[in-house]
Amino acid sequence: MIIVTGGAGFIGSNLIRALNDRGENNILLVDHLVNGRKMHNIADLNIADYLDKTDFIQQIESPAFWQGVRAVFHQGACSATTEWDGQYVMSNNYDFSKRILQQCVANEIAFIYASSASVYGSGEHGFSVDRRCEHPINMYAYSKFQFDQYVRRLLPEATSPIVGLRYFNVYGPREQHKGAMSSTAFHFNRQIIDHKKARLFEGCDGMADGEQKRDFVYVGDVVDVNLWFLDHPAQRGIFNVGTGKAETFNAVANAVIDWHKAGVIEYIPFPEHLKGAYQSYTQADISRLKEAGYKKDFLTVKEGVARYMDWLAACGEK
C-alpha cells in the first residue's frame, strides 16, 4: 500500500492520479475534508481507503498499521502563508510530520515529503539547498524549514529512503479549491474569462510592471519528480523542485491571453501590506536534483500554461 497525506489537495490528488495511471490503486488517502469541495479533486481517482487526518494520527503509533505499507507521500500541511497561529502551524506541519517520519524510519518505509521554497525567505542569499540560504519569514515557511532541519539530523542514522522536495511556484490542474492561494495562472484565466483583463501588480523592488520573476513549475513535473524518487530509493536528502529558470508574471499572463486569443494586461497598485514581505524573484538551483540523476526536462511557462488551459477548458472553465 502507498499512503498519500493531503491526498485531496492540489499536489496530492495529482500524485494519486499519476499512481492510478501506473496501475497503482492500493492507496490510502489521508485528508481533512472540512472543505468538502475538495472532493471534486478525487472523484475520478481510485483508492483503497480514506482516513480523516484525525483518525490517521490516532492509528500511526500502532505497528500493525504499517504492515504492507511501502511508501508515504506526505503532502498534507497547513499551507497558508498568512497563518500566524504558530502553535497551530507547528502542530500540523512539524509535530505531525515528525510522528509520521519516525514510524517510516522504524518500519523501513520510504518517506517522500513536501518541503517548500518559502524556506529561502526573501531569497537574498540564493536558492540553493544550503543552510546559508535559508531564512524563513512567515510561520508556514518556518515550520517547513524546521522539519527540514529535523530530517537533516536524522538522515545520517536512518537507512530507509527519506526525500524532502522544496516546491517552488506550482500551478496546474486540481488547485481550484485553494481560492486566493491558487496560482496566478488560475486567477488570470478567470479574469480573462470574466473581464477580458489579467490584473498584475505594478513594479516593485526596482522591477518594471509585471516583471517580478518566479520559478513557475507545472504540477505534472512536480509529480514526475516524486515518482522518480519512489523508483530510485537509493537517492536521499532534500532537493529543490523547480524549472531552474525564473519567468515573469507578464509571461504567465501572456501565455493565458495567447491561449484564449483574447484579453489584455492591466496593472494595479502594489499592495501596501505586501511591501517588504514579497518574493520578487525566485529561481531554483536544481543542480542537486540533476546530480541525483533526474534527467527529464521541465515545461516552460508557455508549455505548462497551455496544457493547464486545455485541462480547465475540458472541465468547463471557459
Q: Which of 53, 178, 245, 302 is catalytic?
A: 178
Query: Which residues have a Cβ under 8 Å from the Cβ of 118 and sit 6 or more positions away?
Result: 81, 136, 137, 138, 140, 141, 144
Residue 304 grid cell: 505548462
Question: Exposure pattern of 46-62 as b/e (b: 16+ CB <10 Å)?
Answer: ebeebbebeebeeebee
Cα–Cα distance measured from residue 76 to residue 201, given in angstroms and rounded to the nearest whole number: 30
Q: Which of 94, 113, 120, 140 is catalytic?
A: 140
Query: Which residues have a Cβ under 8 Å from the Cβ of 289 and sit 6 or more positions away?
Result: 225, 239, 240, 241
Residue 238 grid cell: 532534500
**Residue 97 CA, distance from chain mean position:** 16
Write the CA distances from 67 to 157, 171, 291, integer angstroms: 22, 35, 33
User: Is-contact 12 77, C-beta < 8 A?
Assistant: no
Cα–Cα distance measured from residue 140 to residue 144, given in angstroms and rounded to the nearest whole number: 6
140 has catalytic annotation = yes
Write the CA distances from 115 to 79, 177, 226, integer angstroms: 11, 20, 12
260 burial class (0-12, 13-18, 19+ CB within 10 angstroms)?
Answer: middle
- Active site amino acids: 140, 178
